[in-house]
Structure 1
């Protein structure tokens, strides 16, 4: 936790503003008489989701108690599972209020806020022994007392104990009764966290689990409060300890082993809390490395590489697209990372987190700013706003008006690849790596397509796990921008990257999957030039099948141009009754077909289907699909993003029945790009009078040309 909280409020305008906001919020909660500790333990927060709309239910920390729960669309939900989930949010909000009150006291020296923080901390310390080891936890969970999961308990306890430590740092005295209650709470917490570490590491042989990082963080806080340096040293060095977990829980390319951005942030936050506690004993973990060079600095660097130009982190595998508690976690770690490592790539992510937390300009706000922010507000002006390269408000080196220049990157261990070119508004992120275990999706060769102003065709991430759409849609192949066969999802498997190259003319990636379906081989070739992105997908199915190429844009089609010989109609969709069928968990799910681009006549050449999308900020994305004889294309109504699945989107399904298929698409942001299939099978790409010929060989895609035609 940052020191000098009072000096921030005295020295910086943002500090004074944030302090006033935090005081007002606490005063409002006190006036609402809402800061009372429930005697009931919390349940599982993932069940706090509307069963009809699949959106997370609303939570108001000013509510003292609640028995019915509001959906963003107006539904009122009741039931024990929802009540238990609400209690998770309530317990967490009270722990946050304790930390917030401690921070306000540190900044203002107003005794009432220290008393409030003490009241919550000591109240929980007294209540904790009365919570039972949770009888309603699901069988796979490590059970907590205050929550279904010991994991949730570990996270919650770090917030309470950081508040306790901050009060101690500020010289706040505790009564003997308060100290006795806190000591009892610490004994129980240390016993349970130690027991669960043993189960995970030694009985289940699952030390790499993200649980372990949080059990370590909770115990680190316990040892810091107790002043137990020996316990902390043993926790850092032992099997499953901080250094060992960094070596096995993070890949050598610096991404958390499950390939999930959300769980990467989750684990990095736990590491930083442990490092904060170690620092209290003069132990520096901030620059420590794992056995393959893994480091917290590297974990920040890979997040900066994955983020889009606005600072939005992609929702790879399980994890939300956007969620307030997640934005707060991002703001916390990015503030700490910025202060420690001063990496310029952190700044856009930090700003985006603050935008999601409520400040439209991305300026510092809420508790995370006062606790962890240092120096001038990085949101005070746009990164790279100065006329010449220099030092920005965060003390990082900027690159002038062009902002951050980020190159393409291959993450060979995690199985992701990014393609970027400075002069092209489009960029991409593709997934070919390991499945991701329980947090993985059936999404090999998925393509995330990004524009500088928006993630045009993103990975949708995951709804709360209590939603039935977790398995019925968001983890499944058809919800991703890749290929499925016969309406069925891919098998869990790992693909490969056969080529990755950057030249002066282009960035090229060749990805392969051979484990998605029996006897099926899929090859995706992505060619990014300064003007366009070519997506060439070859499928050898092995037997006759419905081969389905999916693309899920989050903005509607503004205009379309249908080639001669292709009919546009809404009847006769793939299964003849107005729906497209997906096979999920042995059952058929149906998606409405809203438009069909009829099959090209059996004899003739490939035709261009041209679509135009208007993106935020006024830009456009031009999409050209090559419809070959025998191909069909459909506009299919699907659930929306994982933020609100009830707001439907329209996907493009490009389909072919046969033993093999070739799907060729091109995207551009400046002007329309034309496609033409040559008699040889090569593809001609023409943009702004420049022609390139792309041909597949055994070595991958070969590009010829650059000839300009007036």
Structure 2
């Protein structure tokens, strides 16, 4: 069947002329830049790191796993949302540093452990590739050859399976998802192609028939959409170059339903943001698109166009002062420009744009220039001495606004839902004081833990309005007005169908060290309104509240140590260096509920330093009425 499919592809029309022996991932100019960069002080440090990666990997068994992998999101403690500590010697015992214990007798954990082996192998292959390019030491190419031969012997034995070991439509062979299969191929094929000169014809044929061709066949059958398909296309392009098959490449680029161009047209909005509405799910497909654009240069195809440029440029004006993003919708907390510096190194090489140079200079205020992609960019990039002065801005199509005053940033989210990765959180806000988020949008935990759907994807876990204890509908609000001032700005948005019969409107005004939040909700009928602020520090009041158990809906059960205070008019409380004063019409009595809940999940080192406790502190203003009109003033 595989032979029939490949034979059919060979007779498909393709957009570029076939040039024998002209299939590569790195041009001669790229190789020269890599070698020149490796002679600099910063480049030498990168190369030394690659040697450490290779040496460390070779301390452990290099045998490719006999069993299929599972789902990476299952490799997390179900209690603490903490990723297990990977241990080469313990495929069936997985250590959580917060539990201080090993989790055993769980197949999903064991299968996810295999995923980590494949990921370590991918990093190892990439390190060997760069070391061979720089040093020309044959042993690094031989390391690639040996591992790819092992994969070629194991890959045909892997069953098609999904993350639950079933026969789902989006399963893989090495992994439980074809998505992961494509990501692995996108990188591994580059290493294979670089190492190919040290291989015999017999070895090349074995890798082609054992891994490259069956992997291409699998991805050709997985016809999807959005970030999955973008990665499928990236994997297919890499496999097509490795196999010297222009028809596979053409399918990935030009297929009228699933190809690269269709995905760009369907999912990249005019303001440059990806349709799934999350910084994580913006950069995830963007990486695949950059790999695709870089790979097809050898076939005379130029994908470095204005739309790809906008995808790179748009997020850079949406960051906080510390270059982190608000964690909208699904995705790990802690996405930042710093984490994506390697993509901007690629962008700067291909576009030669001063804006991307400025982005890199800002990134290197916080981190060393240490990505292998930087080797392509044989240009000295000094760290910026001053904070970037990006203005207040709104993104019409993505549907959120960013207000700035010095290092302080407020964000109002009102736009489209975000598809399968969207959250029911219209008119939610976040606020960053220049050092960390004070009012947070937490994103999500790993997808395999109970709190993912039970808490992080609920309206209640966002700083917006929950009505009658229910989640908002999947909908879109609209911008009413936006204006900027010299030291801040004002934004207003509304949504009319998040809850049946309830019209909600929110206005943020930022000026110097003050933020004013006006939230109104109106309905012909009385509702239980919960105006929620998700705080990263515990608020302090002048008098104690009474203990209360929240059982309005299952999501409320995640809030523990809850207390209730009955008030009228207005009240103030302290939180860190900020004072907030909340007021409602004098005639109304309302409840102020506080407590603790799962907070920003454990993440990278910078995240854990800023938010070590991984708790949040919901502040809920509860009112039973037809109308809600609430004013919150923050003074810093």
TM-score range, shorter chain: 0.7 to 0.9
Give the distance between the partners of 1:351 and 1:77, measured in 2 at CA: 43
Q: In the alignment, what sits opposite 1:611?
A: 574
Matched, 1:652 2:622: no
| Partners of 2:466 and 2:531 within 8 A in 1 | yes
Q: In the alignment, what sits opposite 1:25?
A: 53
Matched, 1:334 2:316: no
Q: CA 1:486/1:344 → structure 2, altered by over 3 Å: closer, same or farther?
A: farther
TM-score normalized by structure 1? Answer: 0.78
| Partners of 1:351 and 1:362 within 8 A in 2 | no
| Partners of 2:431 and 2:439 within 8 A in 1 | yes
Structure with the greater relative contact order (CA < 8 A, sep ≥ 6): 1 or 2? 2
Give the distance between the partners of 2:339 and 2:168, measured in 1 at CA: 26
Q: Deviations over 1:473-507 (max 9, x none)?
A: 00101111111113222121111111122245752
Q: Post-superposition shift, 1:659?
A: 1.4
Give the distance between the partners of 1:104 and 1:354, measured in 2 at CA: 24
Q: CA 1:639/1:352 → structure 2, altered by over 3 Å: closer, same or farther?
A: farther
Give the distance between the partners of 2:86 and 2:337, measured in 1 at CA: 16
Whichever structure has more helix as a proportion of its residues is: 2
Q: 2:399 aligns with which of 378, 398, 415?
A: 415
Give the distance between the partners of 1:341 and 1:436, measured in 2 at CA: 29
Give the distance between the partners of 2:520 and 2:38, measured in 1 at CA: 62
Give the distance between the partners of 1:93 and 1:515, measured in 2 at CA: 47
| Partners of 2:584 and 2:629 within 8 A in 1 | no
Give the distance between the partners of 2:627 and 2:168, measured in 1 at CA: 42
- RMSD over aligned CA atoms reads 2.6
Give the distance between the partners of 2:536 and 2:36, measured in 1 at CA: 40
Q: 1:195 aligns with which of 212, 221, 226?
A: 221
Q: In the alignment, what sits opposite 2:553?
A: 583
**Structure 2 spans left out of the alignment, 5+ residues:** 1-25, 604-611
Give the distance between the partners of 2:468 and 2:218, measured in 1 at CA: 48
Give the distance between the partners of 1:54 and 1:309, measured in 2 at CA: 27
Q: 1:363 aligns with which of 353, 364, 368?
A: 368
Give the distance between the partners of 2:630 and 2:352, measured in 1 at CA: 43
Matched, 1:77 2:44: no
Give the distance between the partners of 1:138 and 1:428, measured in 2 at CA: 45
**Structure 1 spans left out of the alignment, 5+ residues:** 201-206, 290-294, 356-360, 386-400, 563-567, 601-605, 614-619, 670-710
Q: Deviations over 1:423-461 (max 9, x none)?
A: x33221211112122211111101011222222222101
- Equivalent pairs counted in the alignment come to 593
Matched, 1:406 2:390: yes
Q: CA 1:35/1:278 → structure 2, altered by over 3 Å: closer, same or farther?
A: same
Q: CA 1:64/1:304 → structure 2, altered by over 3 Å: closer, same or farther?
A: same
TM-score normalized by structure 2? Answer: 0.87
Matched, 1:161 2:189: yes
Q: In the alignment, what sits opposite 2:506?
A: 524
Q: In the alignment, what sits opposite 1:318?
A: 330
Matched, 1:260 2:274: no
Matched, 1:233 2:250: yes
Q: CA 1:210/1:435 → structure 2, altered by over 3 Å: closer, same or farther?
A: same
Matched, 1:661 2:620: no
Q: Post-superposition shift, 1:349?
A: 6.7
Q: Where do residues 84-163 of structure 1 align in structure 2 (5 Å cutoff)?
A: 84-134=111-161, 136-137=164-165, 141-163=169-191
Give the distance between the partners of 2:356 and 2:440, measured in 1 at CA: 21
Give the distance between the partners of 2:90 and 2:190, measured in 1 at CA: 26
Q: Deviations over 1:388-441 (max 9, x none)?
A: xxxxxxxxxxxxx4x4221222222221111124xx332212111121222111
Give the distance between the partners of 2:528 and 2:313, measured in 1 at CA: 41
Q: In the alignment, what sits opposite 1:309?
A: 321
Give the distance between the partners of 2:202 and 2:552, measured in 1 at CA: 61
Q: Where do residues 225-304 of structure 1 align in structure 2 (5 Å cutoff)?
A: 225-239=242-256, 240-287=258-305, 289=306, 295-304=307-316
